Amino acid sequence: MRRQVQLFILLLVVCDAFGQVSYSVPEEMAKGTLVGNIAQDLGLDVKRLKLGNARVYSGDNREYVELNAERGALLIRERIDREALCGDTTPCAVHFQIVLENPMEFYSVTVEITDINDNPPTFEKNEIKFIISESAVVGAKFDLERAVDLDVGTNTLQSYVLKPSDNFMLKLHNQADGTKNVEMVLQKPLDREKNDFIALVLTAVDGGEPQMSGTMQIFISVLDVNDNAPVFTQQVYKGTVSENATKGTTVTFVRASDADHGLNGKITYSITNTLDDVRHMFEINDENGEVKLIGRLDYEKKRHFQINVRARDNGGLTDSCKVIVDVVDINDNEPTIKIMSKSTIISESAKPNTVVTMINIQDPDSDEYGKVQCFISDNIPFVLKSTSNNFYTLVTDSDLDRERASEYNITVTCSDEGVPSLSSSVTLTLHISDINDNAPVFERSSYEAYIVENNTPSLSIFTVKATDADWNQNARVSYILEDSSLNGVPVSSYVSISADSGVIHAVRSFDYEQIKDFHFRVKAQDGGSPPLSSNVTVKIMIQDQNDNPPQVLYPVQTGGSLVAEMVPRSADVGYLVTKVVAVDVDSGQNAWLSYKLQKATDRALFEVGLQNGEIRTIRQVTDKDAVKQRLTVIVEDNGQPSRSSYSHC
Ligand SMILES: *[C@@H]1O[C@H](CO)[C@@H](O)[C@H](O)[C@H]1NC(C)=O
Ligand SMILES: *[C@@H]1O[C@H](CO)[C@@H](O)[C@H](O)[C@H]1NC(C)=O
């Protein structure tokens, strides 16, 4: 540093008896500045200096001062920097000799160099940086760098100032070497969340006039400590989610903030429920707080969830909140039909209103989705009655008839009122059991049968048949011959009937000529208890066989004697001589008789009426004709084979 000093004061010149002289001059004087009037101070005149060739001798040292012999004065030859010359050593002086010749003599000269305030205090660095935790306690000390001022005495460093002084104050410690240690002491706690960076200026001042100073910037980064817990934006969050929501559905977001910095402010979310099933149902994104569904909801099992969520910063501070999740019902359950009790079989005699089945309906859905209506198909003799909420009975509502319908498949269908509606159905098979309410019925209202006479006894004549609409034993038909009598003889001596098969057998051989027909009743009876029966009339007609030959009633054939008929000689042609009368006890063709002339004395004289058996002349009787004429007439029935008799005249 240079200073222009316009005025200066020459200090007192001291000559000592041994040819020594001292001066004092401030540093930094300009070249040519007068240091002292050496001629006068040494008591020499200028001539002696000139003649003696006076000069300055500095030896190996640098020559800061020169001699002006003309003027007998010492002048500054070269600018003197006290700090360069002496550092902090005081006092600081330049020593040299004035040497003369003729005669040779020398004088020692000491020039003291006094300090001027030409150096400000300086710091080695313009700035220093600190990183201080906000948790630093009051009284914590931070070493600062000292400043240096090359000047000495009052011109050198005197004190320090630190600004601003909100958080820190300065403390100086005197060192053994007289310097001062500078410390910055925390007097008010730091708070990173309010102020994370502080800039201070440390100023060092000296005592010179005018005063000089140097500054250094102090930058403090406030280091975060985890002094703030996370805070949720809400204590309770709400979410709704449909029970059929797919896995991965977002339920809600929770959010917490943390005033701290970096890791201390980094929040991790987690679900803290332990005992319930929440953690199987929901997960939280630990970074962004998204609550997601990961399980399958079922409104019918659980309608609300409370998720406890914790936010935690890296330093371990936490906050918690609740997420209330409401599950929204959808119509996902069809009604369940539960058979509480059922008959699989019911008697056809059951009265109307007989309970067949009791049913309970369950639909776990809520409200309309769980309201159920049940119905059965029409046109069956059953109705579904609702007894109380969700309970139904299936009852008969008219008479049953096993013979008309022996089995019912009754489908009960139940539907809820959701849109779309869900329904389910169940089919009940109900068998109708038999009672003996039907009598056997013959296939015909009456029977007629024919049997040819002369049958072999035990011949089966024919079969009657009755059926019974009932079932099993109630339908097992037995045939019974009803007692009656024929001409005073029990009918059972004519016919018998097989109880199982209804086959009617003859018991005897019939003779048409004795009995042509007869009738009796057959009863058909079922195996019910009590049994039911019906009866039918059976008429048996006996058919004729040609078992009788014609019998000649006239002329009466007695013991071989012939019957004589008289014919007058005058009888005309066609005269009725006689008539053969025959009968046949058979009937029909078997009794249809024809007459033929078999033998005759004179075949040309008589003829026999084929139908009526009349014997007539067919020519005039003459005298030539024999008195006795013999005729044999054969009477023949028309049976197959025919039977015949002879009549002789
Ligand atoms: C009832 O259902 C059963 C089984 O499907 C079937 O065999 C039977 O024929 C049905 N009965 C009626 C009367 O429809
Ligand atoms: C036979 O049936 C009729 C009705 O068909 C009935 O009136 C009569 O009493 C029955 N006779 C016997 C003996 O059962």
φ and ψ at 24, to 5 degrees?
Answer: -135, 130
pTM of the model as a whole: 0.55
**Distances, alpha carbon 19 to alpha carbons 64, 80, 492, in Å:** 21, 25, 204
Is the C-beta atom of 482 inside 6 A of ligand 2? yes
Q: Considering the chain, what is the average pLDDT of its residues?
A: 90
pLDDT digits (tens, 9 = 90+) for 58-77: 888 888 999 998 898 999 99
Q: pLDDT digits over 406-441, tens only? A: 999 999 999 999 988 999 999 999 999 999 999 999
Ligand 1 contact, 409 CB (< 6 A): yes
- Would you place residue 257 in the very low, low, confident or very high pLDDT band (cuts 50, 70, 90)? very high
pLDDT, one tens digit per residue, over 291-315 is 999 999 999 889 999 999 999 999 8
DSSP strands (E only) in 145-227: 147-148, 157-163, 168-174, 180-186, 197-206, 213-223
| pLDDT, tens digit, 9 for 90 and up, residues 313-368 | 998 999 999 999 999 999 999 999 999 999 999 999 999 999 999 999 999 888 88
Q: Give the model confidence (pLDDT) of 547-580 as tens digits.
A: 999 998 888 876 665 667 888 888 889 999 899 9
Q: What is the 3-state secondary structure (H, E, C) of 616-643?
A: EECCCCCCCCCCCCCEEEEEEECCCCCC
Cβ count near 280 (within 10 Å) = 11
Q: With H, G, I as helix, E, B as strand and everything else as coil, classify residue 474.
A: helix
Domains of the chain: 12-114 (2.60.40.60), 122-223 (2.60.40.60), 231-328 (2.60.40.60), 336-433 (2.60.40.60), 441-543 (2.60.40.60), 551-648 (2.60.40.60)
Lowest mean pLDDT among 2-11, 493-502, 528-537: 2-11
**CA–CA separation, 230 and 80 (whole Å):** 68
Question: Which ligand gives the minimal distance to the CA of 427?
Answer: 1
Ligand whose nearest atom lies closest to the CA of 406: 1
* Residues 474 and 347: beta-carbon distance below 8 Å: no
- Distance from the alpha carbon of residue 535 to the mean position of ligand 2, in angstroms: 6
Q: Which ligand has the nearest atom to the CA of 407?
A: 1
Question: For residue 482, how far is its CA from the centre of ligand 2 (angstroms)?
Answer: 10
**What confidence tier does 649 reach under pLDDT thresholds 50, 70, 90?**
low
User: How high is the pLDDT of residue 559?
Assistant: 63
Average pLDDT of the segment spanning 141-155: 90
Q: How far is the CA of 519 from the centre of ligand 2 (A)?
A: 15
Is residue 532 within 6 Å of ligand 2 at its C-beta? no
pLDDT at residue 9, as a whole number = 38
Query: Does the structure show a pLDDT above 70 at 544?
Result: yes
537 in ligand 2 pocket by Cβ < 6 Å?
no
Predicted local confidence at residue 561, as pLDDT: 59
Residue 375 neighbours by CB under 8 Å, 6+ apart: 384, 412, 413
528, 436 contact by CB (below 8 A): yes
404 Cβ inside 6 Å of ligand 1 = no
Q: Answer yes or no: is the C-beta of 427 below 6 A from any ligand 1 atom.
A: no
H and E: helices and strands count for the chain: 4, 53
What CA–CA distance (Å, rounded) separates 221 from 129? 8
Q: Is 407 in the pocket of ligand 1 (CB under 6 A)?
A: yes
